[in-house]
């Protein structure tokens, strides 16, 4: 799908959602420069427009410019927040399909990544962002699995999750397309022309700052939409700060997960190291994947110069 990266790829930097903090942005740029990577910054990277980095038109202009620029190898988002859903109906999917490049980010960037997969079949990387992890001090775990995947020269990337806090909730083996991201955004896209087909997929989900009843609501919507009847496997990452208020009567997250997945006919992982925490395992959205709980392994096809078709 993508051309294999050189040892010094060029990153196109964009802010499709909120504008970044200036000091975090500068620290992230210095992080990439210290690694001898080249950078091209979007025109409206830090232009405040309410909480956005520019108007919808300006944010689209930066995104389209990076896809058009033949010198840009990857498109790296500064941060998330909100704004992607305002852009998906105006993205130039023909341009993206003809100039396929990985869009890197997570949280609100999930919306753009899923829409780009649904409409252009171009993979993305749900992983660290310039003015977040790279700007505040990236953890060794996040750094290792981000660069190892971007610069991987093998057909696959294997991750043994036995050394992490991952819990095998439902054992089994599954193959399928790796799709997902932030739970709230995955759910928000349902019913739009920009939500992907989840048949046969391995779905991955995480979220932050949502009370348990809202997690319950999102999962109920996915269930009622038939998504859980379509997928081959489920990876639940971190759900940070997803707690009820003090003295509030509530189900625990585990009780909610048990309600939806105790009888699942597919493998399910809990507490996988992916989400809004410090340690983020980069998830290449759209690639062929295999999840084997007995081997405690997630195998991911390399989208750089390799087919992303599911066998």
Nearest Cα to Cα of residue 253 among 218, 202, 290, 296: 218
143 is catalytic: no
* Set 206, 210, 238, 290: catalytic member: 206
**Which 8-state DSSP code applies to residue 140?**
H
Q: Which of 107, 124, 126, 195 is catalytic?
A: 107
Alpha-carbon distance values, 184 to 11, 177, 206, 209, 214 (Å): 28, 20, 9, 11, 9
Catalytic hit among 133, 195, 210, 276: 276
- Say whether 29 sits in a helix, a strand or coil: helix
- Active-site residue, 250 included: no
Query: Among this protein's residues, is 164 annotated catalytic?
Result: no
Given a contact cutoff of 8 angstroms between Cβ atoms, the answer to whether 274 and 204 are in contact is yes
Q: Which residue has the tokens 């660290």?
A: 128
DSSP assignment of 210-221: --HHHHHHHHHH
Is residue 212 a contact partner of residue 256, using CB atoms and an 8 Å limit? yes
Contact criterion met (CB below 8 Å) for 272 and 164? yes
- Residue 125: CB partners within 8 Å, gap ≥ 6? 102, 103, 104, 146, 149, 150, 282, 283, 284, 285
Encoding tokens for residue 135?
């700007």
Q: Where are the alpha helices (DSSP H) in the chain?
A: 22-34, 56-68, 93-98, 109-120, 133-136, 140-150, 183-189, 212-224, 253-261
Q: Are 184 and 210 in contact (CB under 8 A)?
A: yes
Four-point Cα dihedral 308, 225, 217, 174, nearest 10: -40
The DSSP line for 269-282 is EES-S-SSSS----
Catalytic residue numbers, as ranges = 107, 206, 276
């Amino acid at each position: 799908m993508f051309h294999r990266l050189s040892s010094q790829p060029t990153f196109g930097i964009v802010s499709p959602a909120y504008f970044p903090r200036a000091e975090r942005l500068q620290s992230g740029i210095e992080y990439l420069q210290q690694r001898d990577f080249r950078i091209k910054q979007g025109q409206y990277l830090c232009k405040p427009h309410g909480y956005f980095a520019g108007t919808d038109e300006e944010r689209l202009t930066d995104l389209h410019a990076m896809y058009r620029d033949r010198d840009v190898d990857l498109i790296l988002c500064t941060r998330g927040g909100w704004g992607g859903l305002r852009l998906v109906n105006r993205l130039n999917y023909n341009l993206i399909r003809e100039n396929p490049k990985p869009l890197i980010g997570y949280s609100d960037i999930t919306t753009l990544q899923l829409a780009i997969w649904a409409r252009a079949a171009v993979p993305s990387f749900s992983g660290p962002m310039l003015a977040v992890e790279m700007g505040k001090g990236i953890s060794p775990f996040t750094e290792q699995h981000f660069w190892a995947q971007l610069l991987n020269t093998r057909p696959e990337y294997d991750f043994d999750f036995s050394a992490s806090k991952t819990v095998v909730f439902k054992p089994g083996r599954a193959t399928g397309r790796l799709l997902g991201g932030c739970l709230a955004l995955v759910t928000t896209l349902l019913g739009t022309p920009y939500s992907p087909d989840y048949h046969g997929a391995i779905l991955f989900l995480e979220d932050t700052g949502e009370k348990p009843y809202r997690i319950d609501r999102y999962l109920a919507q996915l269930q009622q939409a038939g998504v859980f009847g379509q997928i081959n496997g489920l990876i639940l990452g971190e759900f940070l700060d997803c707690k009820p208020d003090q003295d509030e009567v509530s189900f625990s997250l585990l009780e909610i997960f048990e309600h939806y997945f105790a009888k699942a006919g597919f493998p399910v992982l809990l507490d996988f190291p992916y989400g809004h925490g410090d340690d983020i395992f980069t998830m290449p959205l759209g690639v062929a994947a295999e999840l084997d709980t007995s081997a405690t392994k997630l195998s991911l096809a390399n989208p750089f110069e390799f087919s992303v078709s599911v066998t």
